[in-house]
Amino acid sequence: MRAVVTGAAGFIGSHLCQRLLSLGWEVVGVDCFRDYYSPDIKRRNLKECLSHPSFFLVGEDLALSNFSFLQRGDYIFHLAAQPGVRKSWGREFSFYVQDNILATQRLLEASLQKGISLFLFASSSSVYGNSPDFPLREEARPLPFSPYGVTKLAAENLVRLYYENFSLPAVSLRFFTVFGPRQRPDMAFHRALKAILTGGEFTVYGDGNQVRDFTHVEDIVEGLIRALEGARVGEVYNLGSGREVTLSQALGAMERVTGRKIRLKFVEAAKGDVRKTLADITKARKDFGYEPRKTLEEGIEQEWNWIRSLYGD
């Protein structure tokens, strides 16, 4: 079978490509190596994939592509996006519109013309915003609290429209705060573990009591694989850990795992940051047997070892 993975050089995309290759898939990885963070880090993410005979890398911008890499019957994992809540304000918003909305619409249109087998879209818990529902269920009314969340919801709605109007087989999966090796440099666990390694300060936006559903990247990838066969087309699913953890608790776990203290600097909560997230994963568990297995401490240890290899210790 042949899979197309957009955002292949990114954090989650590179892990997914490796997993698919290990299962015997032919994988076409698509990435434009946007400089949101170092393209060199992204190329390092793909090091193992690039040496695999069944992996093919396409360097294209989906907002401009002619989609010549698509074939009839492909399974598409659409992970490419402009990430980050805090950078999505002001003049940067145009990049989010291009990469998260326009690129998705163009890929959906091309997928319809090619007759693909399944379109799996990587959405985000950011679509919920500060929802009054807790834990967050797929039926909750989306109330994005950031421009980034708005663009992910818009893309998710486009996926739904192509399913409802043209019967394009498509599923949306809402990821909750993913962590693990290869996490982006701007993300909290990466910054915190780097600060522990180097003796620098970790900036806490807010009081540290904000709640997150921290989900290990291996569990997310397993959810994507399981969704291939068990997810119902046209549906939306949460992919999270189902565990409620405050940022302060997570930082404490990092100190226990590393055996080192972290220096903290508290600043005002960032605009667009929600107060709490927690996934209700009942639907994914029932429909395709999704069951997150990595503990917070296990995942932190893996990411810590990767941070040490990346920056030296």
**pLDDT digits 0-9 by tens, 80-107:** 999 999 999 999 999 999 999 999 999 9
pLDDT at res. 35: 85
Kindly tell me if the per-residue pLDDT of 313 is higher than 80: no
Handedness of CA 248, 252, 257, 263 (dihedral sign): positive
Q: Which of 36, 96, 148, 290 is catalytic?
A: 148
Answer yes or no: are the C-beta atoms of 85 and 135 closer than 8 Å.
no
Name 69's Cβ contacts closer than 8 Å, sequence gap at least 6.
4, 28, 30, 56, 58, 60
**What are the tens digits of pLDDT across the range 214-259?**
999 999 999 999 999 999 999 999 999 999 999 999 999 999 999 9
Read off the pLDDT of each residue in 104-118 and give the average, rounded to a whole number. Answer: 98
Respond yes or no: is residue 237 known to be catalytic: no
Answer yes or no: are the C-beta atoms of 254 and 304 closer than 8 Å.
yes
The residues spanned by each domain of the chain are 2-311
Homologous superfamily of domain range 2-311: NAD(P)-binding Rossmann-like Domain (3.40.50.720)
Distance CA 285, CA 226 (A): 10
Name 91's Cβ contacts closer than 8 Å, sequence gap at least 6.
none
Kindly tell me if the per-residue pLDDT of 30 is higher than 70: yes
Cα–Cα distances (Å) from 196 to 163, 192, 262, 298, in that order, read 46, 6, 5, 17
Answer yes or no: are the C-beta atoms of 181 and 217 closer than 8 Å.
yes
